[in-house]
């Protein structure tokens, strides 16, 4: 009887015990996101696939050239059109973005842009990467980092309107799985939040946007924060980095939560 009781007793395993049996974690999603967004020109988007939601990095770099645009990462026609729409909006709004006339002329005539979507073995398409592409481009051209605790989805028009997209449940769950707790969504997708599991809703913040300018304001860190000051955020531990003089850098300004108590 004692042997049966002992066999039925629950066994408590610690994280160390599990790692000893299975090995260390292969992926640390939150730290991976923080490590990858460490310089201007990188933003985190979200995608829906037949297998569920996925995070989607967009990387942009500029080199001397003649105004050409190169796109890599196995992207299909619809996503290429999103790139073109984002570029047109930026070129039409250089003054509003704070780019000097010389910078805008360089963008049009003497700078080549390379827009890359990592994991090129995976085909990518769909009309939901416009806000992410625009944010990454704006980040690069203005020299402002994108917040590493924010993911986004939504398409844009040439006038900067943010259009609704599909797969919201899958995309938000993917952001949650990656340790990202703030998601920028099209205003018209608010109704889709009721499809999310309550556990996810309780741990997430959403900012609903209708114009790409709102996305840029929410996604980019303050203009006076340098790359060196922001480097401390790459730890992914949720703490804010400090400058040499001890000043805390507010990388994560508070965003209003969307009420989740929908009937």
Closest to 135 measured CA to CA, from 205, 209, 70, 44: 44
Catalytic residue chosen out of the listed positions 124, 139, 169, 171: 171
Closest to 240 measured CA to CA, from 141, 232, 101: 232
What is the spatial distance between Cα 116 and Cα 207, in angstroms, rounded to a whole number? 26
Can you tell me whether residue 70 is helix, strand or coil? strand
Residue 14 designated active-site: no
In angstroms, the Cα distances linking 180 to 15, 188, 253 are 22, 22, 14
What φ, ψ does residue 220 adopt, rounded to 5°?
Answer: -90, 145
Count of CB atoms situated within 10 Å of the CB of 42: 22
Catalytic residue chosen out of the listed positions 82, 128, 139, 233: 128
Residue 169 designated active-site: no
Q: Which residues are catalytic?
A: 128, 171
């Amino acid at each position: 009887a004692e042997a049966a009781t002992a066999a039925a007793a629950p066994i408590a395993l610690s994280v160390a015990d599990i790692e000893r049996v299975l090995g260390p974690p292969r992926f640390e999603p939150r730290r991976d996101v923080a490590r990858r967004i460490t310089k201007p020109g990188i933003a985190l988007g979200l995608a829906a696939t037949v297998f569920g939601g996925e995070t989607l990095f967009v990387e942009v770099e500029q080199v001397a050239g003649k105004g050409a645009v190169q796109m890599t990462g196995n992207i299909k026609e619809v996503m290429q059109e999103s790139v073109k729409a984002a570029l047109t909006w930026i070129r039409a709004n250089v003054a509003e973005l704070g780019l000097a006339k010389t910078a805008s002329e360089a963008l049009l005539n003497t700078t080549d842009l390379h827009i890359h979507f990592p994991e090129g073995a995976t085909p990518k398409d769909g009309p939901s990467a416009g806000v992410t592409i625009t944010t990454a481009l704006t980040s690069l051209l203005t020299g402002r980092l994108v917040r590493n605790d924010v993911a986004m989805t939504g398409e844009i028009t040439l006038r900067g309107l943010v259009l609704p997209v599909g797969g919201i449940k899958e995309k938000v769950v993917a952001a949650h799985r990656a340790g990202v707790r703030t998601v920028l969504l099209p205003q018209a997708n608010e109704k889709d939040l009721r499809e999310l599991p309550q556990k996810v809703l309780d741990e997430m913040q959403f900012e609903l946007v209708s114009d790409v300018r709102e996305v840029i304001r929410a996604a980019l860190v303050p203009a006076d924060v340098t790359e060196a000051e922001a480097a401390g955020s790459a730890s992914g531990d949720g703490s804010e980095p400090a400058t040499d003089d001890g000043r805390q850098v507010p990388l994560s300004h508070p965003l209003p939560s969307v009420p989740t108590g929908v009937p």
